């Protein structure tokens, strides 16, 4: 019976999910690129965030994935954060952008900016392409990010830098925490569960597996000082919180 249900789910993805994904991305991307240039900066951020939530929710709901949200009360809509999360799957993006109820900007691989509609919408929305080709490019990326986070707009970063191949939490890079230190903003750790089971990195462009998705927002980590000591504190504390949360779910 399970084999029959899997076959039906695969057929559904091929003939329903895939067309919806393409149409959803094209529609949302086109609307953002058309409307946002006509708006004020603040209205443009609100509108692109609203459309982003619509995009993410449509994809997750069309994939027929149940979602559980924990700790949303830890988000202060008036406060800007550096949001850091574990990175296991492309569904991490759909989950955060769809269900994190705040205006967000993202640091994302520059190569993603070349994807039709998605790239144009990301540029229009003020997302930050990450270019690590040289120290000067890294500095430009950080400067761009610093100018983007104001008035309740938060920046999302995957501090591992890439998706995990195993689902285990990888080493955190310092970039997100350097930005938090420069701006003296709190870091908001987020743990994502279930996305690896839906579509791990090694199964890209294959059929998704049905599994419950959970997003847990933890208490913010506020700066304790400035400089190297503060950066290391926020980095290590974020890692500890996300790692402990992952371990608790597997007990």
Give tens-digit pLDDT for 45-103. Answer: 999 999 999 999 999 999 999 999 999 999 998 999 999 999 999 999 999 999 998 99
Partners of 89 in the β-ladder = 200
Q: Strand pairing of 82-85 and 104-109?
A: unpaired
**Given pLDDT bands bounded at 50, 70 and 90, which one contains residue 205?**
confident
Handedness of CA 140, 177, 104, 152 (dihedral sign): negative
Strand partners, 215: 69, 192
**Rg, the chain, Cα only:** 18
Q: Is the dihedral of CA 18, 211, 191, 166 positive or negative?
A: negative
Query: Three-state SS for 152?
Result: coil
Task: Decide if 82 contacts 157 (C-beta within 8 A).
Answer: yes
Query: What are 150-197's pLDDT values in tens digits?
Result: 778 999 999 999 999 999 999 999 989 999 999 999 999 999 999 999
The CA distance from 238 to 242, in Å, is 6
Q: For 79-93, 141-155, 212-226, 228-242, which range has the lowest pLDDT when averaged over its residues?
A: 141-155
DSSP conformational letter for 16: I
Residue the block writes with tokens 């000067």 = 136
The overall average pLDDT reported for the chain is: 92
Task: State phi, psi for 181 to the nearest 5 degrees.
Answer: -70, -45
């Amino acid at each position: 019976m399970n084999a029959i249900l899997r076959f039906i789910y695969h057929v559904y993805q091929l003939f329903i999910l895939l067309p919806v994904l393409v149409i959803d991305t094209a529609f949302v991307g086109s609307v953002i690129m058309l409307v946002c240039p006509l708006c004020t900066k603040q209205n443009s951020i609100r509108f692109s965030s609203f459309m982003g939530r619509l995009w993410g929710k449509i994809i997750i709901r069309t994939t027929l994935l149940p979602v559980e949200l924990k700790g949303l009360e830890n988000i202060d809509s008036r406060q800007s954060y550096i949001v850091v999360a574990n990175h296991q799957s492309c569904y991490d993006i759909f989950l955060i952008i769809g269900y994190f109820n705040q205006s967000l900007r993202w640091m994302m691989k520059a190569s993603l900016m070349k994807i039709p509609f998605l790239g144009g919408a990301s540029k229009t929305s003020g997302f930050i392409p990450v270019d690590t080709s040289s120290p000067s490019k890294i500095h430009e990326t950080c400067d761009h990010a610093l100018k983007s986070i104001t008035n309740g707009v938060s920046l999302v970063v995957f501090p591992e830098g890439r998706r995990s191949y195993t689902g285990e939490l990888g080493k955190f890079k310092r970039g997100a925490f350097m930005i938090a230190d420069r701006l003296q903003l709190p870091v908001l750790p987020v743990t994502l569960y279930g996305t690896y089971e839906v579509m791990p990195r090694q199964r890209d462009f294959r059929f998704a597996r049905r599994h419950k998705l959970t997003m847990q927002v933890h208490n913010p980590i506020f700066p304790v000082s400035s400089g190297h000591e503060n950066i290391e504190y926020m980095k290590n504390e974020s890692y500890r919180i996300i790692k402990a949360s992952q371990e608790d779910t597997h007990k």
